[in-house]
Amino acid sequence: MVNSDGLVDFLVIGGGTAGIVGAMTASGFGASTILVERDRTGGDCLWTGCVPSKTILSAAALAKTRRSPARNPTDRDTDDDADFTGVRERIARAIRTIEPADSPAALETAGVEVIAGSAAFTGPGTAEIGGRTIRFRQALIAVGAAPARPAVPGLPEASVLTSETIWDLETLPDRLTVIGGGPVACELSQAFARLGSEVRMIIRSRLLPKEDADAVAIVRRSLEADGVHIREQAAVTHAEDTTAGYRLFLDDGTSIEAGTVLFAAGRIPRTEGLGLDRIGVDLDERGQVLTDERMRTSNPLVWAAGDVTANPRFTHVAGVHASTAATNAVLGLNRRVSPVVPRVTYTSPELAAVGSSQTDHPRHRTRTVTHRHVDRAVTDERTDGFTSLTLGRGGKILGGTIVGPRAGESLAELALAVQKGLTTADIARTTHAYPTYSDGIWNAAIADVRERATAGPARLAVKTLAFLRRRRVGLHPGGNP
């Protein structure tokens, strides 16, 4: 893969989603490309993130439907551990099915040379990989981020699970204490509660702090209905060993008994040891690689994408940003990444949002349809959610929030609307399949169009047109103009 002059066109460090997409994009444009991965290609998404977490959520939903309606969510059955073995097998099967698409073989078929090992920049245009020096024209940093670990006195770091190590559990925990209140914490809390664990969440601030409060309230009720105990505005100060695990002491003077502890609060970029200081790549105060809108770092020959940057840490963001970076690097373009980023918390119900909310811009209008008025939600008996649009002048769609089953799928329409600057009239004119959950978006759009058509200047214009039409009809016998 190295050119005849000893240079590789595009060096990619990291074999997760960003690295794979960036490498395949560059190679597809004819650039000689090397990808370096120290562990296994596929990254967090395949091995410890998207794939296993969505699989366990699906398995947990099935487990809930099999339970007796009268059973207490925190009661354990002797069958729970056997069921958990089945869950582990299902997760492994999903990973095996998806793994080939992210494998070194797939990369090599696409023309990418894959090198196993750790890489570090040694100077302008050079990197060392296992004692081998690679010269490169341009490079992409895509090393991702690792789960943050707590520094809690009395709580050994090795005894605390993270979103990476929780998949090593061989039996279902009797009690699981989750420290954190973001999407990962919510999803895993609900999954393990539905599988039969007694789950407690300890949250320093509040549940899903970035999301709309009304939407979060619905998710909270669902978590609590599944037996999750939620403790907000609380932080663990220290811990003590007990015969059954640990006693965690909180900053309000109370304490709780904890068996298995999962820390799911934040991630740290894996920039240590990369030698970024040697090539002039700037980091922020959290150690994240700084990039511009084109995904270029402070070194014009080096790009970055994925969780190692300060951008939203989603797999879909990593892929799009890496593709943009590689395209700009290889073709010399100046494409910018879009600020429109959809986000989904895959609890039941799902909470999906994109763009601005009324919390961001209180002066903007909102149009909300509760799912009591969405016929598909009525047929499914899942009417506890809602769809809300944030609107600007002329009904321009600035953002939206959806709470309900498959909200992430419905969100795609809103993401496109925000990206393209569409209005509620554009949505209202589009025929939607019936009955679907996307009727929430359609109904909200229609309601906004109707209101604006019968209020203020628009109402006057409609009345004027109606008056002129009546005059014209009156002037021509038979009603023909």
Indicate the pLDDT class of residue 479, thresholds 50, 70 and 90. very low
What's the rounded Cα separation, in Å, for the pair 199 and 395?
Answer: 43
* Percentage of the residues of the chain whose pLDDT score is greater than 90: 85
Please determine, for residue 463, whether its predicted confidence score (pLDDT) is greater than 90. Answer: no
Domain 7-147+268-331 identical in fold to domain 349-453 = no
- Residue 142's pLDDT is what? 98
How many whole angstroms from its chain centre is CA 146? 16
CATH superfamily to which 349-453 belongs: FAD/NAD-linked reductase, C-terminal dimerisation domain (3.30.390.30)
Residue scoring higher pLDDT (256 or 3): 256
**Tokens standing for 313?**
């840490």
CA distance 362 to 381: 32
Residue 158: predicted pLDDT = 87
Tens-place pLDDT, residues 99-152: 999 999 999 999 999 999 999 999 999 999 999 999 999 999 999 999 998 789
Evaluate the CA torsion angle 219, 224, 226, 228 in order and state its sign.
positive
Percent of the chain at pLDDT above 70? 89
CA distances from 257 to 50, 136, 153, 200, 250 (A): 30, 54, 16, 10, 11
Please determine, for residue 362, whether its predicted confidence score (pLDDT) is greater than 90.
no
Model pTM score:
0.92
Give the pLDDT score at 481: 43
Predicted pLDDT at 220: 98
CB 238 within 8 A of CB 249: yes
Calculate the average pLDDT of the chain.
92
> What's domain 157-265's superfamily in CATH?
FAD/NAD(P)-binding domain (3.50.50.60)
The pLDDT tens digits of the residues spanning 393-415 come to: 999 999 999 999 999 999 999 99
Residue whose tokens read 């200081």:
277
* Domain layout of the chain by residue ranges: 7-147+268-331, 157-265, 349-453
Contact assessment for residue 255 and residue 169, using Cβ atoms and an 8 Å cutoff: no
Q: 7-147+268-331 maps to which CATH number?
A: 3.50.50.60
Checking if the pLDDT of 28 tops 60, the result is: yes
